[in-house]
Chain A
């Protein structure tokens, strides 16, 4: 069941992005879409609306980039609870540090090792 839900919810989150691309102005690029997802995910998370989705769908909600926004927002909120004001700045990055550094390291390695093909 958890696998089906991950597939369906993850699919729906992506399909919304496709509708957004196809139905809006042509100047929407991947950068706009991804920034939109991170921002939307963080805001929904702050309003308490994203955690239920994660509870239901697991990776279906954390793998789309809105899940990255969710981690950032939750990280900031939790750090404020434990450390106060400084947590608002540090919390988001701390919660997502592994992912960000993984992206830089793997991204760098792939870019150096491979050459564009097509």
Chain B
């Protein structure tokens, strides 16, 4: 009998094993000075990464992280069925231009900072559906490219409010396969776009928290789980403000998350010592924290079952200038390693 893969309203259960067989992370110097430094594969001290512009540097980071993930398991580009990637820039140029140098059929994705988990979901669906055996995925962000596109030139003397987040410079890549040894993606919940009318471009956390709450509540209902079912609930880049908002929102819905809840944006930096205000953000944030730190913890069996949720703020400078509110989205995957 065919096993039902769709679970409840928004969730899916994967029938085939979806194994994370390789990962790679490339980060910049600020991330390399943070508490997770020793979990990254490559710390690039030069913000330009030897390139002519920050955009080219970000592109190179994405390309290098994807290639490194392949090199680690001795696979060639021709062994891979699809490459999925995305970033924060207009027309996702980092991903598109990186894919130019990677001879694998390519899907470009945009989910703002949720892109990494969006890519994990799509990759898992491709494999489980029998359309692929191996899928490579990556997402990146760069502090300077993001600041310039979304906020102010870096040399402009602008004060950042305490709720502002620091865009992570870095790229994370994963290789997902239908067999092998490693942590497995077992379930997923696809998020809806939620807009609670927030407009502050210096407070992405609050704009995204309602989407995170919605996806989490739907996940718990669809799958019959609760926050206690997971060793770790991990959000991508809500930061200190968004995290606090999410905890309150979940309380209102009757769910208590406590010790087992962490946010990548708060893990990647030392919030006390590094001048990053509310924490890290960007496509690269969840990507490098998961590819490095979290996978290591899974391999070391510190966690056996985690719920990994990445949130994205789906605004553009144009929509912001026109006074539009900031819609948010959150996608979730369950990763297990027994």
**Chain A residues close to B by CB (< 8 Å):** 21, 26-27, 29-30, 116-118
Q: Is the CB of B153 within 8 A of A26?
A: no
Cα distance A30–B155 when bound, in Å? 13
Work out how many contacts link A and B, with CB atoms closer than 8 A: 25
Q: Which residues of A sit under 8 angstroms from B154, Cβ to Cβ? A: 116-118
Residue of B nearest to A111 (CB): B155
Cα distance A21–B156 when bound, in Å? 16
How near does chain B come to A63, taking the closest CB pair, in angstroms?
16
Q: Is the CB of B155 within 8 A of A26?
A: no
Which of A21, A116, A117 touches B159 (beta carbons < 8 Å)? A21
How near does chain A come to B167, taking the closest CB pair, in angstroms?
13
Q: Does B202 contact A (CB under 8 A)?
A: yes
Q: Is the CB of A30 within 8 A of B199?
A: no
Q: Is the CB of A117 within 8 A of B155?
A: yes
Cα distance A21–B158 when bound, in Å? 11
Which of B156, B158, B202 touches A26 (beta carbons < 8 Å)? B202
Cα distance A21–B203 when bound, in Å? 15
Q: Is the CB of A27 within 8 A of B199?
A: yes
Q: Which residues of A sit under 8 angstroms from B197, Cβ to Cβ? A: none
Q: Which residues of A sit under 8 angstroms from B144, Cβ to Cβ? A: 116, 118
Q: Does B79 contact A (CB under 8 A)?
A: no
Q: Is the CB of B199 within 8 A of A26?
A: yes
Q: Which residues of A sit under 8 angstroms from B153, Cβ to Cβ? A: 116
Instruction: Provide 14 A-B residue pairs closer than 8 Å at the C-beta atoms, listed in order of the A residue.
Output: A21-B159, A26-B161, A26-B200, A26-B202, A26-B203, A27-B199, A27-B200, A27-B201, A29-B158, A30-B156, A30-B158, A117-B155, A118-B144, A118-B155
How near does chain A come to B214, taking the closest CB pair, in angstroms?
24
* Segment 172-209 of B: residues with Cβ below 8 Å from A: 199-203
Cα distance A26–B199 when bound, in Å? 8
Q: Which residues of B sit under 8 angstroms from A21, Cβ to Cβ? A: 159
Cα distance A31–B200 when bound, in Å? 17
Q: Does B152 contact A (CB under 8 A)?
A: yes
Ranked 3 nearest A-B pairs via Cβ: A26-B200, A116-B155, A118-B154
In terms of DSSP, what is the predominant structure of the interface of chain B?
loop
Q: Which residues of B sit under 8 angstroms from A29, Cβ to Cβ? A: 152, 158
Take A116-B153, A116-B154, A118-B154 as given contacts and tell me if A26 and B159 are in contact as well, using a CB distance cutoff of 8 Å. Answer: no
How near does chain A come to B146, taking the closest CB pair, in angstroms?
14
Residue of B nearest to A22 (CB): B161
How near does chain B come to A26, taking the closest CB pair, in angstroms?
4
Q: A26-B202, A29-B158, A116-B144 are in contact. List 19 more A-B contacts (CB 8 A).
A: A21-B159, A26-B161, A26-B199, A26-B200, A26-B201, A26-B203, A27-B199, A27-B200, A27-B320, A29-B152, A30-B152, A30-B156, A30-B158, A116-B153, A116-B154, A117-B154, A118-B144, A118-B154, A118-B155
Q: Which residues of B sit under 8 angstroms from A26, Cβ to Cβ? A: 161, 199-203
Q: Which residues of A sit under 8 angstroms from B152, Cβ to Cβ? A: 29-30
Q: Which residues of B sit under 8 angstroms from A118, Cβ to Cβ? A: 144, 154-155
Q: Which residues of B sit under 8 angstroms from A116, Cβ to Cβ? A: 144, 153-155
* Segment 194-229 of B: residues with Cβ below 8 Å from A: 199-203
Q: Which residues of A sit under 8 angstroms from B202, Cβ to Cβ? A: 26
Cα distance A26–B320 when bound, in Å? 12
Cα distance A65–B201 when bound, in Å? 26
How near does chain B come to A20, taking the closest CB pair, in angstroms?
13
* Segment 287-338 of B: residues with Cβ below 8 Å from A: 320
Q: Which residues of A sit under 8 angstroms from B320, Cβ to Cβ? A: 27
Cα distance A30–B153 when bound, in Å? 12
Q: Which residues of B sit under 8 angstroms from A117, Cβ to Cβ? A: 154-155
How near does chain A come to B32, taking the closest CB pair, in angstroms?
15
Q: Which residues of A sit under 8 angstroms from B161, Cβ to Cβ? A: 26
Cα distance A91–B219 when bound, in Å? 67
How near does chain B come to A115, taking the closest CB pair, in angstroms?
9
How near does chain B come to A24, taking the closest CB pair, in angstroms?
12
How near does chain B come to A18, taking the closest CB pair, in angstroms?
9
Q: Which residues of A sit under 8 angstroms from B203, Cβ to Cβ? A: 26
How near does chain A come to B261, taking the closest CB pair, in angstroms?
27
Q: Which residues of A sit under 8 angstroms from B199, Cβ to Cβ? A: 26-27
Cα distance A30–B199 when bound, in Å? 18
